[in-house]
Structure 1
Amino acid sequence: MTMDIRLARVDSRLLHGQVATFWTRFVQPNRIMVVSDSVAKDNLRKTLITQVAPPGVKANVVSVNKMIRAYFDSRFDSFNTLLLTENVGDMLRLAEGGVDFSQVGINIGSIAYTEGMTMITDAVAMDDHTAKQVAALVNDFHLDVTAQKIPADKKIDLLSLIKKKNFNLE
């Protein structure tokens, strides 16, 4: 048996109001796992994240490798997890490490715009590198990767959108 992942979400803002209210109510986790090598090393960010968890839900901040180990550790089988990463690359590393997202797919909530990126939805920015990572999650791991800000929003197939925007997937 392994940890029950109820939502796997990429959100550059990590744990914030939409996640703490809408998504937590929707998936009813008993644990929020924020998976980020950089945040795991930053005590201030780690403290802030663990403090904004909604009542009754404990939040942890761990590195990618620690999350992979925890996923396969029977001591964490009781976790009903809402899993958050800041970027698609960390989610891909988790999949490569054997974390099974086949039951939930990957939800892309927000990817912040930086220089050289293209906005493909009102909340998701993409460049060729990130588009290739999305394609790997879909093609190599056979996962549904969708953009969706809150549960009430319609899911948008991200790879179809990427292909329409002519990103270089080679």
Structure 2
Amino acid sequence: MIKDLRVDDRLIHGQIALTWPKALGVNRIIVANDGASQDKTQQMSLKMALPSDVKALIRSVEDTVTFFDNPKAKEADLMVIVGNVTDAEKLAQALGTLVERVNLANVGRFDGVPKEEKLAIGSSILLSKAESEALDRLLKIPNLKVVHQIIPDNSAKKLEDMM
């Protein structure tokens, strides 16, 4: 079960490494990112950011979907991190009820699209046209919670209410 599908353009960083695994009760994180899955240096950096009791798998988005074909993977409590809304939408569509919620945390700050061309939702969500369209599709998935929650101590805000 995917306890949290987090959209965070930094992938693994201090908030992820130190607070989210404990709050979610997970000790495994999957980074679903096509670029990171091909970059050995980035993979080492991401894994080094985690405490020793939390393990990371770094896969492409497609390989992440395939990973969940294994019944053992479906039963494990996991956190999945993607770098953009488009990848979150692909995973949520493909994995269905395995995804408990999608958490748009930090999005669109480093994608090269000028800020003035983006839709801003709160202070940490900046969506290009393509990302905004992916969010619209994500919000239409029945029974899927889509929230904004930077750290576990913050309350989760429904994304629909923020728009």
Q: What is the TM-score with the length of structure 2 in the denominator?
A: 0.87
Aligned partner of 1:165 in structure 2 is none
Question: Considering only aligned residues, what root-mean-square deviation do their CA atoms show, in Å?
Answer: 1.8
Measure how far apart 1:157 and its partner are.
2.0
- Report the Cα distance in structure 1 between the residues aligned to 2:92 and 2:32, rounded to whole angstroms: 13
Letter in 1 for 2:160: L
Measure how far apart 1:59 and its partner are.
0.7
Query: How many residues are matched?
Result: 158
Q: Match of 1:112, SS?
A: coil
Contact kept? 2:31, 2:57, Cα under 8 Å? yes
Q: What is the TM-score with the length of structure 1 in the denominator?
A: 0.84
Runs of 5+ unmatched residues, structure 1: 163-170
Match for residue 62 of structure 2 among 65, 85, 89: 65
> Structure 2 vs 1, CA of residues 97 and 77 (structure 1 numbering), >3 Å: closer, same or farther?
closer
Aligned partner of 2:108 in structure 1 is 112
Match for residue 12 of structure 2 among 11, 15, 22: 15
Q: List, as ranges, runs of 4+ consecutive aligned residues in structure 1 with deviation greater than 3 Å.
A: none
Contact kept? 1:68, 1:99, Cα under 8 Å? no
- Report the Cα distance in structure 1 between the residues aligned to 2:143 and 2:73, rounded to whole angstroms: 25
Letter in 1 for 2:62: N
Aligned partner of 1:148 in structure 2 is 149
Q: Match of 1:97, SS?
A: helix
> Structure 2 vs 1, CA of residues 141 and 90 (structure 1 numbering), >3 Å: closer, same or farther?
farther
Measure how far apart 1:6 and its partner are.
1.5
Runs of 5+ unmatched residues, structure 2: none
Measure how far apart 1:43 and its partner are.
1.1
Contact kept? 2:33, 2:61, Cα under 8 Å? yes
Name whichever structure is richer in helix by fraction. Answer: 2
Paired-residue identity, %: 23
Contact kept? 1:9, 1:85, Cα under 8 Å? yes
Match for residue 84 of structure 2 among 83, 87, 102: 87
